[in-house]
Amino acid sequence: MTDSASIHHDDEETRQLERTWASPPGFFAWFTHVNQTNIGMRFIVTGFIFFILGVILALLMRLQLAVPENDFMDPETYNQVFSMHGITMMFLFAIPVMEGFAVYIIPLMLGTRDMTFPRLNAFGYYIYLIAGVMMYAALLLRIAPDAGWFSYPPLAGASFSPGLGLDFYTTVVTFMEISALVAAIELIATIFKCKVPGMSLNRMPIFVWAVLVMSFMIVFALPPLVIASLMLALDRMAGMHFFTAASGDPILWQHLFWFFGHPEVYIIFIPALGMVSSIIITFTQRPIFGYIPIVLSIVAIGFIGFGLWVHHMFTAGLPQLGSNFFTASSAMIAIPSGVQIFCWIATLWGSKPKLATPLLHVLGFFLIFIIGGLSGVMVASVPFDMQAHDTYFVVAHFHYVLIGGAVFPLLGGLYYWYPKFTGRMMSERLGKVAFWVTFAGFNLTFFPMHKLGLEGMPRRVYTYLDGLGWNEANLFISISSAVFTLGLMLTLVNVLISLKRGNIAGDNPWNADTLEWATSSPPPSYNFRHIRTVDSRYPLWSGTGGLEQNPVVTGIRSDRREILLTSILESHPEARQPLPGPSPWPFWLAVATAITFAGLMAHLAIPLLGFVLCFIAITGWVWPKRLGVAK
């Protein structure tokens, strides 16, 4: 490390870095890119495209349910649509988009040049893309899964769902999870080993903590789903009886599924909490109150999140005393959530925050998420849940939690980091209009569903009879869903027009505190020209002259891709790590993996071919080469 004063602004070295970290141009070369900003942006854009598709499916459902006994869709189609809505929002939108933000932002926040396993990153993206495209191809061919995103056997078994739909579920969902798992592993490794010197664990931004907890949750929650869906695939294709009443147990699936499914909710929600903290810090322009309680709360939610799954099964006939323990554990999650909410309120208190669009979304999050949290405590009660379970009350509840708890912070995060992604600001005026329309549309759509559920309307029904007193509420909800969609479309328009017309952002338009704002917008392919050590939780605010005063790490090569590895706790420099550059093999391995899994649907022998193809692709991937020194 050297003192700041002795740094040469060596243009030759900058050009060298640009050459080293450049992603080759051209259509075919696009499939070889591995830089974290490229891959992160692809996750984000693809995630939002699937979000739009999921919204379209939701609108189709609302069209069908606008009036009783509607015949806009037949039950078969409706069941595929609602199943794909769930699969899209949970698997194809929420996890990937959160991981996309993490992949893009985390290395920047840590002050490093790339992630630890760039090719694995690219591989994860192609897996996700191929899986998503396959699911939608199935929907267009009308052979999508139709037993819900939860696919309970025996309904999802071969006897009652003989078609290809559920085979798509078991195979594609299984291999889609590879994408989430590799991203999680890579985020953990990056967060532990690539922090800039000086960024000890207790100085990590809260968003980084949130992503770390999310990643660990993914690592522990997704394997049960992968195992369960493989078992279901074996039930369906090889006549095993894991989940049949004959010699297995249909309830076993529910345990395995919800052991994944409930943590999944927190996997989506925890990074959003990190975004909320980032936004509050920036727009109040002061350090957050209660850094340690907030971090501990996030970690606590990560643990408790694994102990609640039975509250999805209160009506399944499990022992009552045991069920009441899960009431207690579910209620317990309110405490770490409450701690965070009051830490944020304490930070906001009297701070004259700047009410820009990102902070507006956070305030919207407060209202919606608190309502969702309170209804969540209600359904944690066994006797009340026996009335509310599988009705529109629950639909209302989890949309409050997921849209309020995750999508609103995500939209806030989009407005917040858009300048970093693109170099331009989004329109504040349009952003505020979009927020209010979205906020009103959301509440008008989902609040009446509480009432509808208590009045007896079950979930997952393709129609309902006239005369049950549900007509007005359903029509109202369907109309409101158009308002909600309009709000989301305004944000989309804002994103698109700001690409060309937005004001130039500069490096740090919000005067934020974290390192991603210490480089140009958008960041160069090597992220940072100078790797500066940090000495506080708020590196861009600290000291007299801010980051510019801090020592710079020297000795990292610029003629090949290289990052600095540091120790986990104290972030002492440990090693220089060369990184691989662009390669087509992650793409080909993803294709081979897709053939292996999807081939199961056509013939049990195709996976054998897939294994050979995967072997070839892995060989190509690891084929020894001289470390890439840019010419």
Partner 1 sequence: MCICLPADANQSALQPEGPLAKVVADLFWGMVAVGGLILFIVLAMLAVALLRARNNAEPRPLTFTQSRNLVFISGVVIPALILTVFVISSAAVNREIVAPMPEHALTIKVTGHQWWWEVDYLDTEGNHVAKTANEIRIPVGKPVRIALEASDVIHSFWIPQLNGKTDMVPGKRNLTWVQADQPGSYRGQCTEFCGKQHAKMAFTVDAVPEEDFETWLQRQAQPAREPATENETKGRQVFLRSSCAMCHAIRGTTALASVAPDLTHIGSRKTLAAGTLENMPGTLSAWILTPQSFKPGSHMPATMLTGEDLGNLVEYLLSLE
Q: Which of residues 237-256 bind partner 1 (CB under 8 A)?
A: 244-246, 249-251
Pick from 2, 202, 324, 619: which binds partner 1 (CB under 8 A)? 324
State the number of CA atoms in the 13 A half-sphere of 62 facing the CB. Answer: 22
> Cβ neighbours of residue 151 under 8 Å, at least 6 residues apart?
83, 145, 166, 169, 170, 232, 257
- Using the rule CB under 8 A, is 432 a contact of partner 1? no
Q: Is 148 left (phi over 0), alpha (psi -120 to 50) or beta?
A: left
Indicate the DSSP class of residue 499.
H
- Using the rule CB under 8 A, which residue among 227, 386, 608, 622 binds partner 1? 386
- Does 473 interact with partner 1 (rule: CB under 8 A)? no
Distance of alpha carbon 603 from alpha carbon 304, whole angstroms: 41
- Count of CB atoms within 10 A of residue 10's CB? 11
Cβ atoms of 388 and 459 within 8 Å: the answer is no
- DSSP H or E segment with residue 531: strand 531-532
Report, in Å, the least distance between residue 348 CB and partner 1: 4
Is 296 near partner 1 (CB under 8 A)?
Answer: no
Let me know how long the chain is: 631
Site for partner 1 contains 601 (CB under 8 A):
no
Interface with partner 1, residue 335, by CB under 8 A: yes
Q: Which stretch binds partner 1 (CB under 8 A): 162-170, 288-296, 487-495, 505-513?
A: 288-296
- Binds partner 1 (CB under 8 A): choice among 259, 289, 291, 439: 289
Could you tell me if 110 and 194 are in contact, meaning their C-beta atoms sit under 8 angstroms apart? yes
Q: Tell the smallest beta-carbon distance from residue 601 to partner 1 (Å).
A: 21
Peptide linkage before 522 cis (omega within 30 of 0): yes
Residue 509 C-beta: closest distance to partner 1, Å: 21
Binding of partner 1 by 464 (CB under 8 A): yes
Q: Which residue has the tokens 């909710």?
A: 265
Nearest distance, CB of residue 390 and partner 1, angstroms: 4
Which residue's CB is nearer to partner 1, number 451 or number 560?
451
**Contact between 281 and partner 1 per CB under 8 A:** no
| Residue the block writes with tokens 């960024």 | 199
Residue 139 is a binding residue for partner 1 (CB under 8 A): no
Q: Which of 3, 10, 466, 472 binds partner 1 (CB under 8 A)?
A: 466
The closest of 427, 420, 410 to 498, measured between CA atoms, is 427
Of 164-193, which residues contact partner 1 (CB under 8 A)? none
Measured distance CA(106)–CA(40) in Å, rounded? 10
By C-alpha distance, which of 457, 530, 398 is closest to 3?
A: 530
* Cβ nearer to partner 1, comparing 41 with 377: 377
d(CA 439, CA 365): 9
Nearer to partner 1, 52 or 473 (CB): 473
User: Residue 31 or 462: which CB sits closer to partner 1?
Assistant: 462
Distance CA 131, CA 127 (A): 6
162 binds partner 1 per the rule CB under 8 A? no
Render 570-592 in DSSP notation, one character per residue.
T--EEEEEE-----SHHHHHHHH
Q: Does 584 bind partner 1 (CB under 8 A)?
A: no
435 sits near partner 1 (criterion: CB under 8 A) = no
If DSSP codes are grouped into helix, strand and coil, which group holds residue 555? coil
Region near partner 1 per CB under 8 A, out of 148-156, 204-212, 496-504, 544-552:
148-156
**Residue 160 touches partner 1, criterion: CB under 8 A:** yes
Q: Does 25 bind partner 1 (CB under 8 A)?
A: no
Q: Name which position in 63, 363, 433, 440 contacts partner 1 (CB under 8 A).
A: 363
If you write DSSP's letter for every residue of 142-158 in order, what string do you get? T-S--STTTT-TTTTST
Question: 269 or 291: whose CB is closer to partner 1?
Answer: 291
If the CB atoms of residues 51 and 82 are measured against partner 1, the closer one turns out to be 82
Instruction: Indicate which single residue of 22, 219, 377, 609 sits in contact with partner 1 (rule: CB under 8 A).
Output: 377
Residues touching partner 1: how many (CB under 8 A)?
A: 85
Please give the C-alpha separations between residue 548 and each of 3, 35, 81, 405, 533, in angstroms, as whole numbers: 10, 26, 54, 36, 10
Complex with partner 1: residue 400 or 597, whichever CB lies closer: 400
Among 456, 506, 555, 578, binds partner 1 (CB under 8 A): 456
349 part of the interface to partner 1, by CB under 8 A: yes
Closest to partner 1 by CB, 382 vs 617, is 382
Residue 333 vs 613, nearer CB to partner 1: 333
With beta carbons less than 8 A apart as the criterion, state whether 224 and 256 touch.
yes
State the nearest-atom distance from the C-beta of 229 to partner 1, in Å. Answer: 18
Contacts of 371 (CB under 8 A, 6+ apart): 400, 404, 447
CA nearest neighbour of 508 among 524, 495, 519: 519
Minimum CB–partner distance for residue 375 and partner 1 (Å): 8
